[in-house]
Amino acid sequence: MARRSGNLASCAQDFVRSAFTPHFGGLAAGFASHPAWSRLRALGTELWLDTGSLDESAKLWTREFAALTTNNTLLNAEVQKGLYDAFIGEAAKLLAPFNLSEREHALEIAFLLNARHGLRLVETYDAFVSVEEHTDLAHDPDRAVETARRYHAICPERFLVKIPFIPAGLLATRRLAADRVPVNHTLGFSARQNYVIARVARPAFVNVFLGRLNAFVADNRLGDGTLVGERATLASQAAVRRLRTEHGVPTKQIGASLRSGEQIRDLAGLDVLTMPPKAAAQFLALSLPPDQLADRTARDYQPPLAPGVDAKLVGLDALWDIPDSLVACCDELDAEDLDSFTPDDLVAFFHHHGCGDLFPCWTPEQTATSAAEGKVPSLDHWSDLLAARVVGLDALLNLAGLNAFTADQVAMDARVATVLAKA
């Protein structure tokens, strides 16, 4: 099995890199510049586009941009257009001699699609590109590490590998960071989550999906939804910066899931902003003079909440507070042989130290409820658990995000199966 797997990895790498013509360091001068983007770069913010679409990115890309980030949802949108139907057929022919099971075949096709699409983006923009693993691997740290290493081998110069924030993902990211595989640790929603991620796993990047935080507040009529995600993101940025200084952690903070151009302005100075094309276009439409853009990372935004809303009762404070008990938990974790931990060991450790709401033990019924809700949880279903601190709001949003990515992965797998059935 090991020899066959090795041959498959080598064949897959040659297959996806066929006709790939990189231009490392050779394309920037060919792109236009924009004074507003240039000012943000001068403030220390890396600029990424949050899209896998070549059509959308072409309308906005300037020499100030450094990366594009894709995910299961964004790649699924490209696959559903039929752009990769011929590639899927070719990939199936490549895999035929390996006699893979149906599941392994689906995993490998998804890997090849992510890698090929990522290389197209690298070739077009000489950009760093985040590529994402199949959601079936999220709870399997060994397979997640193996797949990430394969991505890295395909394009070590430009590929970043996305690993989701769950216990297995933390342990996988820790191993990959030790191997110098750059990881974009995704599905983060709070300062405390990213504090744990940075201390335990030391990835290249962590995220706050700030738009979904604002949507949770607005959709559940807790307030107008403004500044919630912004406050959490800046709190996380402050924590990550402290860890860089105090612990030598290399991690950078990404502001993700942006919804408007104003959010780009309000988060100027953040380590990284990854912007959906709509938000980037809205920012440019503001026509802000560059000298009006200033570093805002020291701001302490106060989200307006509806009358009578208790932020702590709902669990909003978990988005930006890092309690001393969590810091002490991580201090004690440092003294453990963490590399011997299983995901269950990690969960048990946090529960034992009074931080179990970061890693709830979800029941099948709770997981199903979350999946039915979509990306934004309904407070009606979770208010008691949030108030009792059995579940953290950041953990709940993390579950919703993973379920949403899984649904899009299923849709992409179904499209692949349909294409192959017609071949």
Q: Do the domain assignments include residue 69?
A: yes
| 174, pLDDT greater than 60 | yes
Q: What is the pLDDT, as a whole number, of residue 107? A: 96
pLDDT confidence of residue 4: 44
- Name the percent of the chain lying above pLDDT 90: 95
CB atoms within 10 A of CB 348: 16
Q: Quick check: 5 pLDDT over 70?
A: no
Predicted confidence at residue 72, as pLDDT, reads: 80
Contact 363, 391 (CB under 8 A): no
Confidence grade of residue 73 (pLDDT, cut at 50, 70, 90): confident
Contact 5, 98 (CB under 8 A): no
Amino acid letter, 169: G
Report in angstroms the alpha-carbon separations of 267 from 51, 181, 286, 413: 20, 28, 15, 36
Region 44-69: what's the mean pLDDT? 96
Has residue 294 been placed in a domain?
yes
pLDDT of residue 3: 37
Domain membership flag for residue 380: no
Measured in whole angstroms, the distance separating CA 311 from the mean position of its chain's CA atoms is 26
Q: Is residue 46 part of a domain?
A: yes
- CB-based contact 174:339 (threshold 8 Å): yes
Q: How many helices (H) and strands (E) does the chain have?
A: 19, 8
pLDDT bin (cut points 50, 70, 90) of residue 76 is confident
Percent of the chain whose predicted confidence (pLDDT) is above 70:
99
Q: Kindly report the CATH number assigned to the domain that includes residue 62.
A: 3.20.20.70
pLDDT digits (tens, 9 = 90+) for 200-219: 999 999 999 999 999 999 99
Residue 283 lies in a domain: yes
Torsion of CA 44, 50, 56, 59, to 10 degrees: 0
Residue 2 confidence (pLDDT) = 37
Question: Contact at 8 Å (CB) between 297 and 238?
Answer: yes
**Lowest model confidence (mean pLDDT) among 77-86, 97-106, 351-360:** 77-86
Residue 137, in any domain of the structure: yes
- Indicate whether 281 belongs to any domain: yes
Q: Which pair of tokens denotes residue 97?
A: 């001699």
Q: Which domain holds residue 186?
A: 40-309+398-422
Concatenated DSSP letters for 362-409? --HHHHHHHHHH-SS--HHHHHHHHHTTSS-HHHHHHHHHHHHHHHHH
Which pair of structure tokens corresponds to residue 333? Answer: 């974790």
Burial (CB < 10 A; 0-12, 13-18, 19+), residue 15, is middle
DSSP 255: E
User: Mean of the pLDDT values across residues 100-120?
Assistant: 96
pLDDT digits (tens, 9 = 90+) for 266-323: 999 999 999 999 999 999 999 999 999 999 999 999 999 999 999 999 999 999 999 9
In a domain, 316, yes or no: no
- Count how many domains the chain has: 1
